[in-house]
Amino acid sequence: MTSVLILLPPSEGKYAPKRGAVLDLHGLSSPSLTAARSAVVDALADWCTTAPEAAMDGLAIPKTQPELLALNASIGTAPTARAERIYTGVVYDNLATETLSSAARRRLGRVAVTSSVFGLVALSDRIPAYRLSGDAALPGIGSVAGHWRTHLGAAIESSVGSGLLVDLRSGTYQNFWRTEPLAARTATVRVLHEVNGTRKVVSHFNKATKGRLVRALLEDGATPRTPARLAEAWRDLGWTVEVGAAGRTGTQLDVVVTEI
């Protein structure tokens, strides 16, 4: 349980460790998800092993990248590393956990990743690399998003406790669990790039800024209890933040940037 829980999307690209302990589902955080995780791991590995061509097509794996299929086929026996190393890409490059101060690293428990395979992942959890998009479907499981919608709610609510939920997930991963039950204490974040008075959403700015926002909050150590207090905390750190009206999924915070 934490005073602030920050939900991030996973990255499409992942670092595949060459050595390390194999996956231990019972050693991951949120143990209530163990059975749901095991079902996905088994279905993914079996499909990629027994019907590789169908799996490549169904998982949108390019035929020029068969190594991605191999990652899935060996997911139960492949080397693992901390999730903060496994997830790469713009968000995680800008979060840059490896260069956080010691105090900020002790606060990494405030951050979790929504995962197609594992549901909810702490950055300290040891997981293998995999390729499974949030909009995929698996034999025997069906829609990955639908699978997790039946399991994630209790795990997330337990993790956030009575604290503030900061939802930085992309739309695909928002489908894994809707924030309505915690709307009164949920902040959703939109990044707007402003040029000559015109604002628009730009993917790269969005991802880079979200990584930096999380990093700034971890370094600062602030523990806001409401979306308004979160906006104040980021403003104190030099960001331009506008607070929208409360809605059924939470309160939207618009972070306005003019450059990366």
Q: What is the mean pLDDT of each run of 10 residues along the chain (260 residues)?
A: 88 95 98 98 98 97 94 97 97 97 97 98 98 97 98 96 96 96 96 88 87 98 96 97 95 90
The pLDDT of residue 152: 97
The pLDDT of residue 3: 85
- For 139-189, the pLDDT digits (tens) are 999 999 999 999 999 999 999 999 999 999 999 999 999 999 999 999 999
Cβ atoms of 127 and 119 closer than 8 Å? no
The pLDDT of residue 232: 98
**Mean pLDDT rounded to a whole number for the chain:** 95
Q: How far is CA 172 from the centre of its chain?
A: 11
The pLDDT of residue 238: 96
The pLDDT of residue 205: 83
> For 29-166, where are the alpha helices, taking DSSP H only?
34-50, 52-58, 66-73, 83-86, 90-95, 102-105, 144-149, 152-160
The pLDDT of residue 186: 98
The pLDDT of residue 2: 63
pTM of the model: 0.94
CA 153/CA 177 separation, integer angstroms: 6
> What DSSP letter does each residue of 141-196 carry, written as one string?
TEEHHHHHHTTHHHHHHHHHTTSEEEE---HHHHTTS--GGGGGGEEEEEEEEEET
The pLDDT of residue 260: 67
